[in-house]
Structure 1
């Protein structure tokens, strides 16, 4: 039985790309306004973008974790879903988008800003406003060299706008020139694309940008070349976002009200849930001419009101700067508060929610998984059957949830009445993660502050949750350590009596390695032989332990000891000096080239082992080395420190490919 039957108030999901994107913000404004009049709950779910390529060294590499939010939409926990499929799939193929949409077509579904056959859609009439703007360039300004910065062909709006651009040219007898068209990614970050179209077309008279976000990036490239829109070139955008009237010169654009998209989508969704017959809707657009268009007659003179424009812009920038400073101060205070706890218990989660009033958040909930989940890029994610509600903030009254009441079925995640919320609300769901580790989700009010700073909020709450987990782990370790120390003291077992052999791997432990190394260094000094320290660190031990079990982790540690012993042979010694850290003292390597060659031999040994081993994971290490200068304890320690630093540099560029790829 669906929630729509058993619940009085409807709850609708809204799947979008990034929560702080211009389109999403405007869409949400319309959704919020209409939802309030219809007394329905809204949950905005920003799952980012399908098939976006993430460089491992990029600051946004781990944003793939946002895509796990797509699994939080089911017919069991929501009455219906509104999907901005073209936005979510702006980097994906049509086939990929349709495959993605299949899971949501089993429930009431409305698609916005796209046209899908046999589906209920709300979209723009892309043609009218674009034709009006292009007609003005051609008929009033006499342009024949008009370029376009478009978007991926998989994006419905981008494809339609390109088609309209070509038709408008051909309607005036102007043949489409492929040199005047470039494909961007619908954002302001398409810098190479902006440079390309300008470099190829120095005589270009006007440019149509697929949206205002794209136009903002193009403005920056024009500024770098001392080209002024409205004087040297005419620029037209699409959307008419707030930025279009704030930039100088103000941007001519096509007014396509994303808020109306959101409002109409909610209207259709409510009727659809109620069992009514509904049809797709097309919303009108209109061309808005501003200062980014040159003047008639080709004179391209600056606006007479340029001084007033600058004064107005300076005033606006001053206000924005003042507001930005206030926001930065609030952010700084928030960070200080959110990380101020010193205990790793459930009460600390409540301290996090108590810091979010600066975003006007009155209701918030932290749901965590039973245990953190390791989720690597490209892996499917399956929502657990239940989550654990650690703390909640209702009308700015924060309370921790006792352990016996923490379990919440995923199918009841958006049961706001059970959560204690009175009345309808507008919420956003944000993932809580650190790198490849998923902790849970934050569900909170979607305020204007969250629409601007939502990703910052998610990042800081994620950092706080990570710290609580680390504190909790540390407290457990300290407790076990105290228990162990009590046992050691009771039995009068002293550190000096510990064996010099590592019990797990059978090789020397830290103490044994140091003692034997000092003996060998004394012999090397007498024989004038070189000695090189190799610091080795196992790759991805935590992932192997968590995914395959600690027995497999122990097997990996033993294997590393065996391979290192075999590699060093009679030319030195090997010791396990920490949990997943090993150290080798190798004698007779003449210089750094010989040391690097030895390291490659070690890497090769591990590759051969992994090829023949039937384990589903790879056993590997990273190495750093340093030749010893002083043949004494200080020299050994210095060399180990240097080798460890080099090892750190190696690990920074190591790919996390612990799982073997099945052929």
Structure 2
């Protein structure tokens, strides 16, 4: 890239709403904001993933085309979460994948590869959980739920499990190990493990997420977690504190890994080198490993106020350094420390002062950066400790009860307000998002307008900016086939803040590698963009690039399918309209063929009567005059016998010319028999019109025969019948009257067929 004002890096990761991935994203976004660089999030799926989870679609492989948009032409560096992106492929395949981006500066997370710096967790961190089960709980029968075979993270954690067993003289039994896929869909493997070993005392899971399925199996079998079986996880993701009972797990500080990875990549880009880093881990003991009386003894006998608060935060949220740093969290931390300093030193608790501080905290806070239930647990647990400490201080005991009740009341009020706002915003957002499909369909006749309607709705939801790119036409992409990316995309519409813009067709085309590096991107500030492919089943339509707050990332997975559905529907409507137009044209041609005389081009018998009856039977025709004409070509047999059928055909066509000479008057002309013709017209004055038509036909024949070079005369006998329409009638009812007029005219028909030449006698 050239002439960039700020660095732009990409982050490849599995899904945006995966609990593990979300922690990485929080850290990466925080670092990018601090360093004032652009961050492009590329949420694909695991390469060659086979998902058992029902919430994933068989077409989720389409998300992985997003990895193909990465290039040194649009990024200065790339972060790859190997643990999420490469879980389903071999180490050799992952290495090949990474090398495909050379020479782009690249840093891996979770798994180290030669030639690339890496930020990863301590490979021995899993030992903490296994050692805890053995040393603190005396467990000997411990099962292990691993990640996928071949996945480096999974194999390293399994090796830790085996090593701890060996160190403690516990025989390794391979039947006590089952293999999941790091997702919550672990029920089947956990059932298999318990079927083989119903007497297990504990199960170690290689990550927190697989514990979700495990808890479901324990519930099925009426096994009480923390009592009938002890359970540990790995990561300390949001899953750990959402499970009941809460999960004992190895805290790896995933958010810090995202944060430090961005820092290290920027250093690599700017200096050409950076060091790999291994992050420390610690065991967080919670209720899934039932704590012994010795472990839950009153910490007041051994700990200072800072240590007590640190223990409480550490259990439910994390230490202050790894927690989202806001003034609110800092003040909660400080308030609890002041409380414990007072009760530990037996000083009177200044209740009114603390209550005032709590009120100010909530009044000055719009968003609490952690889950309300976790904050409630922090405050409740702190109260339990404080009550134990001041159990022999009656005044402080009452003050502690009132102080924590006051905090929880404020927290409840805040929670109710937030729930109301969330519900209101959700209803409004869902309404606007649902409008995407509707508005595109309304404007389906104007493609540019239909795409512009998308960004209008996104602007009104919570998107800071959005870009809708499409291919010239849909690209079919099947699973396990190589993605052949078109050279260009077409930017239909975009918005940046309050600027909503339709891009004119001549300006829409951009290279696929310029979709995140062009003049339409914000130039005066940093941004975090999310890139999502637009697809439906096997068809790829283009790209959706957007910018919004992290807390609203879930909306992307609502909006993108709406856009895809709208694109598909508008294309189907266009295709249907095209098919209908072709069908109309074909039907028109068919009707024309079925109603037309092939030789002369006028109506045939059926076509004439259909057209004439449509006019005559109309209610609007009642009271109007009409004229019916019947005409016969004179002497057709003689012409055919003398000059052949070509001569006869010419004569028939010429008769149509005679009848057409009355075109300003005749509404329908048809050849209704071999040498028979008919005409019909609606008029105000039928008597006058009938005479004009008759004279016009005769005059046309006379002029033609006088000037034509053909050796024979072409004349018509004509019968004209006039009448006043009654409405709802049929032309056939009046044919006999016109036929009578024709019979009278035939008595005076021309009998000279061959024109006289050199005084030859007429035939």
With the length of structure 2 as denominator, give the TM-score of the two structures. 0.59
Does the CA contact (< 8 Å) of 1:432 and 1:459 recur in 2? yes
Pair 192,497 (structure 1): closer, same or farther in 2 beyond 3 Å = farther
TM-fit CA distance, 1:248: 1.4
Is structure 2 residue 119 aligned with structure 1 residue 19? no
Superposition pairs of residues 95-494 of structure 1, within 5 angstroms = 95-128=92-125, 130-296=126-292, 329-330=427-428, 332-341=430-439, 342-344=442-444, 345-356=447-458, 360-415=462-517, 417-477=519-579, 488=589, 493=592
Structure 1 counterpart SS, 2:59: helix
Structure 2 counterpart SS, 1:237: strand
Does the CA contact (< 8 Å) of 1:11 and 1:414 recur in 2? no
Pair 471,169 (structure 1): closer, same or farther in 2 beyond 3 Å = same
In the alignment, the residues of structure 1 paired with residue 380 and residue 421 of structure 2 have an alpha-carbon distance, to the nearest angstrom, of 17
Partner deviation per Cα, 1:380-431 (whole Å, 9 max, x = no partner): 1132222100010110432211101101122322125543453110011111
Structure 2 counterpart SS, 1:231: coil
Quick one: which of 61, 65, 77 aligns to 1:64?
A: 61
Pair 181,13 (structure 1): closer, same or farther in 2 beyond 3 Å = same
Structure 2 counterpart SS, 1:392: strand
In the alignment, the residues of structure 2 paired with residue 93 and residue 424 of structure 1 have an alpha-carbon distance, to the nearest angstrom, of 36
Partner of 1:587: none
Structure 2 counterpart SS, 1:444: strand
Superposition pairs of residues 459-538 of structure 1, within 5 angstroms = 459-477=561-579, 488=589, 493=592
Partner deviation per Cα, 1:278-324 (whole Å, 9 max, x = no partner): 11111111100001102338999xxxxxxx98x999x99x9799898
Pair 165,67 (structure 1): closer, same or farther in 2 beyond 3 Å = same
In the alignment, the residues of structure 2 paired with residue 100 and residue 75 of structure 1 have an alpha-carbon distance, to the nearest angstrom, of 15
Q: Which has the higher contact order (CA 8 A, sep 6+)?
A: 1
In the alignment, the residues of structure 1 paired with residue 291 and residue 595 of structure 2 have an alpha-carbon distance, to the nearest angstrom, of 89
Partner deviation per Cα, 1:142-196 (whole Å, 9 max, x = no partner): 1101111011133222111111111112111112111211110101112210111
Partner of 1:610: none
- For the aligned residue pairs, the C-alpha RMSD in angstroms reads 3.3
TM-fit CA distance, 1:99: 2.0
Partner of 1:85: 82
In the alignment, the residues of structure 1 paired with residue 421 and residue 216 of structure 2 have an alpha-carbon distance, to the nearest angstrom, of 23
Which segments of 5 or more consecutive residues in structure 1 lack a partner in the other structure?
A: 301-307, 500-663
Structure 1 counterpart SS, 2:271: coil
Pair 112,279 (structure 1): closer, same or farther in 2 beyond 3 Å = same
In the alignment, the residues of structure 2 paired with residue 495 and residue 87 of structure 1 have an alpha-carbon distance, to the nearest angstrom, of 66
In the alignment, the residues of structure 2 paired with residue 398 and residue 321 of structure 1 have an alpha-carbon distance, to the nearest angstrom, of 31
In the alignment, the residues of structure 2 paired with residue 492 and residue 331 of structure 1 have an alpha-carbon distance, to the nearest angstrom, of 51
In the alignment, the residues of structure 2 paired with residue 218 and residue 133 of structure 1 have an alpha-carbon distance, to the nearest angstrom, of 17
Does the CA contact (< 8 Å) of 1:31 and 1:259 recur in 2? yes
Pair 400,138 (structure 1): closer, same or farther in 2 beyond 3 Å = same
In the alignment, the residues of structure 1 paired with residue 16 and residue 3 of structure 2 have an alpha-carbon distance, to the nearest angstrom, of 30
Which region of structure 1 is more displaced relative to structure 2, 468-477 or 26-35? 468-477
In the alignment, the residues of structure 2 paired with residue 231 and residue 419 of structure 1 have an alpha-carbon distance, to the nearest angstrom, of 56
TM-fit CA distance, 1:58: 9.4
**Higher Cα Rg, which structure:** 2
Structure 1 counterpart SS, 2:571: helix
Quick one: which of 53, 62, 71 aligns to 1:74?
A: 71
Partner deviation per Cα, 1:565-603 (whole Å, 9 max, x = no partner): xxxxxxxxxxxxxxxxxxxxxxxxxxxxxxxxxxxxxxx
Pair 59,412 (structure 1): closer, same or farther in 2 beyond 3 Å = closer
Does the CA contact (< 8 Å) of 2:28 and 2:261 recur in 1? yes
Partner deviation per Cα, 1:190-246 (whole Å, 9 max, x = no partner): 221011111111111111111111112211111121112112111111111123123
Structure 2 counterpart SS, 1:12: strand
Which segments of 5 or more consecutive residues in structure 2 lack a partner in the other structure?
A: 297-375, 382-410, 599-763
Pair 492,207 (structure 1): closer, same or farther in 2 beyond 3 Å = closer
Does the CA contact (< 8 Å) of 1:394 and 1:421 recur in 2? no
Structure 2 counterpart SS, 1:296: coil
Does the CA contact (< 8 Å) of 1:343 and 1:472 recur in 2? no
Structure 1 counterpart SS, 2:530: strand
Does the CA contact (< 8 Å) of 2:434 and 2:562 recur in 1? no
TM-fit CA distance, 1:325: 5.9
Quick one: which of 34, 37, 62 aligns to 2:34?
A: 37
Does the CA contact (< 8 Å) of 1:89 and 1:154 recur in 2? no
Does the CA contact (< 8 Å) of 2:240 and 2:248 recur in 1? yes
Pair 40,294 (structure 1): closer, same or farther in 2 beyond 3 Å = same
Pair 299,444 (structure 1): closer, same or farther in 2 beyond 3 Å = closer
TM-fit CA distance, 1:446: 4.7
In the alignment, the residues of structure 2 paired with residue 82 and residue 498 of structure 1 have an alpha-carbon distance, to the nearest angstrom, of 75
